[in-house]
């Protein structure tokens, strides 16, 4: 396993919301980044999102260097072999177990044997994902929070066969990206989504059943529990499709207390996924 001091190039699989956010924070921390996705349009969209995010942060005085210098450290590609240059890889593809296992089998073949392979999964088993490789001891969960450039936390999730030095490396690497970490065992939902998904779904049910309007549900939770967002606004920011996928996974693993709210399903079927589509429980520019 490579030491933190050996890391020069960070590989990121996936150029979507989470992937481009991880690529951005890695480049901001001074690393060269290779961000790979399966289609060039996904890559370009991810790079455009990074440009927009860096511009906003620069306007707010939250960058220590010119955004162009940060952006120059990020290479977008559709070539899987480009990840051979990476000293650590973080996968942030779609939340689908079969897809992730295929990706990790590919990464196992294209990267050096001493490269740590991390997954950004929010609910899926690290142990099962790692089983697609011949180096399960080097596979770990690095669950970044959304939006990655803004949120301070990263959940380090330890698989059944993850080696202790890899756990230490994961904490140190996340902290080097400017994040704070906590650690969870490889149980469904880990810490965050195990607690968060029932909270969001109950907020949606309260709204659907007419307990209060959407603003008062969110206002009641922000003022009553001192959280920065209420459940409906937070669901829109996470993405209702992500909320649905996570809830369905936890429902399968842990039972009816994690059953997704009907209104979440209906909005996903309608294509109203939250902020990223311009409409969820609220409407956005």
Query: Is 32 marked active-site?
Result: no
**Measuring CA to CA, how many Å separate 43 from each of 38, 95, 132, 209?**
8, 18, 25, 41
Structural domain count, the chain: 2
Q: Where are the beta strands (DSSP E) in the chain?
A: 9-13, 32-36, 74-77, 88-91, 116-119, 139-144, 153-158, 180-185
Q: Do residues 181 and 224 both lie within one domain? A: no
- Examine residue 285 and state whether it is found in any structural domain, yes or no: no
Query: Is 122 marked active-site?
Result: yes
At 132-187, the pLDDT tens digits run: 999 999 999 999 998 899 999 999 999 999 999 999 999 999 999 999 999 999 99
Question: How far, in Å, CA of 252 to CA of 171, rounded?
Answer: 30
Q: Is-contact 176 203, C-beta < 8 A?
A: no
DSSP states of 189-217: TTTHHHHHHHHHHHHHHHHHTTSS-HHHH
State the catalytic residue, choosing from 49, 137, 193, 247: 193
At 36-58, the pLDDT tens digits run: 999 999 999 999 999 999 999 99
Question: How far, in Å, CA of 175 to CA of 177, rounded?
Answer: 5
The domain boundary residue, chosen from 185, 204, 238: 185
Query: Is 193 marked active-site?
Result: yes
State the catalytic residue, choosing from 75, 91, 155, 248: 155
Q: Do residues 149 and 8 both lie within one domain? A: yes
CATH number of 269's domain:
1.10.1040.10
CATH number of 94's domain:
3.40.50.720
**Domain boundaries, position 211:** 192-276
State the catalytic residue, choosing from 122, 137, 201, 247: 122
**Measuring CA to CA, how many Å separate 149 from each of 14, 97, 177, 190, 220?**
16, 26, 10, 22, 27
Q: Is-contact 91 107, C-beta < 8 A?
A: yes
Query: Is 251 marked active-site?
Result: no
**Measuring CA to CA, how many Å separate 136 from each of 37, 89, 93, 152, 235?**
23, 14, 19, 28, 33
Q: Is-contact 231 204, C-beta < 8 A?
A: yes
Q: What is the pLDDT along the chain (285 residues), one digit of tens a residue?
A: 899 999 999 999 999 999 999 999 999 999 999 999 999 999 999 999 999 999 999 999 999 999 999 999 999 999 999 999 999 999 999 999 999 999 999 999 999 999 999 999 999 999 999 999 999 999 999 999 988 999 999 999 999 999 999 999 999 999 999 999 999 999 999 999 999 999 999 999 999 999 999 999 999 999 999 999 999 999 999 999 999 999 999 999 999 999 999 999 999 999 999 999 999 999 998
Q: Do residues 161 and 251 both lie within one domain? A: no
Annotated binding site for NAD(+): 14-19, 37, 95, 100, 122, 146, 276
Annotated binding site: 14-19, 37, 95, 100, 122, 146, 276
Tell me, what's the pLDDT at 113? 96
Question: How far, in Å, CA of 221 to CA of 156, rounded?
Answer: 27
Write the burial class of residue 225 (CB in 10 Å: 0-12 exposed, 13-18 middle, 19+ buried).
exposed
Question: How far, in Å, CA of 203 to CA of 265, rounded?
Answer: 14
């Amino acid at each position: 396993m490579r030491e933190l001091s050996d890391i020069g190039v960070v590989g990121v699989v996936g150029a979507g919301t989470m992937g481009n956010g991880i690529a951005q924070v890695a480049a901001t921390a001074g690393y060269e980044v290779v961000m790979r996705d399966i289609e060039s349009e996904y890559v370009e969209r991810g790079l455009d999102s990074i440009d927009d995010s860096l511009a906003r942060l620069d306007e707010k005085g939250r960058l220590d260097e010119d955004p162009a210098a940060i952006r120059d450290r990020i290479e977008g590609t559709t070539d899987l072999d480009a990840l051979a240059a990476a000293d650590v890889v973080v996968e942030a593809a779609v939340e689908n177990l079969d897809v992730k296992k295929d990706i990790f089998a590919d990464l196992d073949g294209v990267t050096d044997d001493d490269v740590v392979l991390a997954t950004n999964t929010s609910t899926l088993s690290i142990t099962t994902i790692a089983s697609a490789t011949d180096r399960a001891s080097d596979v770990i969960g690095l669950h970044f929070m959304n939006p990655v450039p803004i949120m301070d936390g990263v959940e380090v999730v330890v698989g059944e066969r993850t080696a202790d030095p890899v756990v230490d490396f994961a904490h140190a690497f996340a902290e080097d990206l400017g994040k704070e970490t906590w650690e969870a065992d490889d149980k469904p939902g880990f810490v965050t989504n195990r607690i968060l998904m029932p909270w969001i779904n109950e907020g949606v049910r309260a709204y659907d059943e007419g307990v209060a309007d959407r603003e008062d549900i969110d206002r009641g939770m922000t003022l009553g529990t001192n959280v920065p967002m209420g459940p409906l606004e937070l669901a829109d920011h996470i993405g209702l499709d992500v909320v649905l996928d996570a809830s369905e996974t936890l429902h399968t693993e842990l039972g009816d207390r994690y059953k997704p709210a009907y209104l979440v399903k209906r909005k996903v079927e309608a294509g109203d996924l939250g902020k990223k589509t311009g409409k969820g429980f609220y409407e956005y520019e």
